Amino acid sequence: MKHRWTLLCERFSIDQRSNNVTLFGIIDELHVPKSAVSEAMAAGKPAAAQIQSVLVVQTERSDVGVPEKGVIECRLFDAEGQELGSSRADVSLERGRRARSAFNINVLPVTNEGIYLYRVFHVVEGESQQVDELPLRVMFDAPSSTA
């Protein structure tokens, strides 16, 4: 199984006739109101930032003529390298030559500002091999002051 690409977006659509994918609202930066995370972070816990998004991963057959299947695992790491969560999806390339896996993300655990990483792995016979890394910049927005 070959990895082709990984993107975080607001939503996506697959054309049933052509099997082409359209991604809407690519996300590479997240602005979180500091007031929404300060209480949880002061208690030493990750804050829950609301984000309506989907991580889309496209894979294809290693050999176009040979059907295969596998597992994709996505792991989220904060700016300090702490793993915050993971999710897996089965991938079947038995009928088609390419497949897309979609990981819906409604809440992002936030521990600090900085570059978060989505790391994508192929899992084969229990062994994980990293095939991609997608950065997401997380910034805290201070409340605007009005005079």
Q: Give me the pLDDT at residue 143, please.
A: 53
Closest CA to 84 of 49, 52, 53: 49
Per-residue pLDDT tens over the stretch 50-80: 899 999 999 999 999 999 999 999 999 999 9
Per-residue pLDDT tens over the stretch 19-44: 899 999 999 999 988 888 888 888 88
Q: What is the average pLDDT across 119-125?
A: 92
Write out the two tokens for 35: 């007031």
How far apart are alpha carbons 14 and 142 in whole angstroms? Answer: 38
Instruction: Calculate the average pLDDT of the chain.
Output: 91
- List Cβ neighbours of 79 (8 Å cut-off, separation of 6 or more): 111, 112, 113, 114, 115, 116, 138
R_g of the chain computed on alpha carbons? 18
Closest CA to 137 of 1, 63, 53, 29: 29
pLDDT tier, 93 (very low <50, low <70, confident <90, very high otherwise)? very high
Q: Give me the pLDDT at residue 65, please.
A: 92
Q: Give me the pLDDT at residue 147, please.
A: 42
CATH superfamily of 2-139: Macroglobulin (MG2) domain (2.60.40.1930)
Q: What is the average pLDDT across 118-145?
A: 88
- List Cβ neighbours of 92 (8 Å cut-off, separation of 6 or more): 69, 99
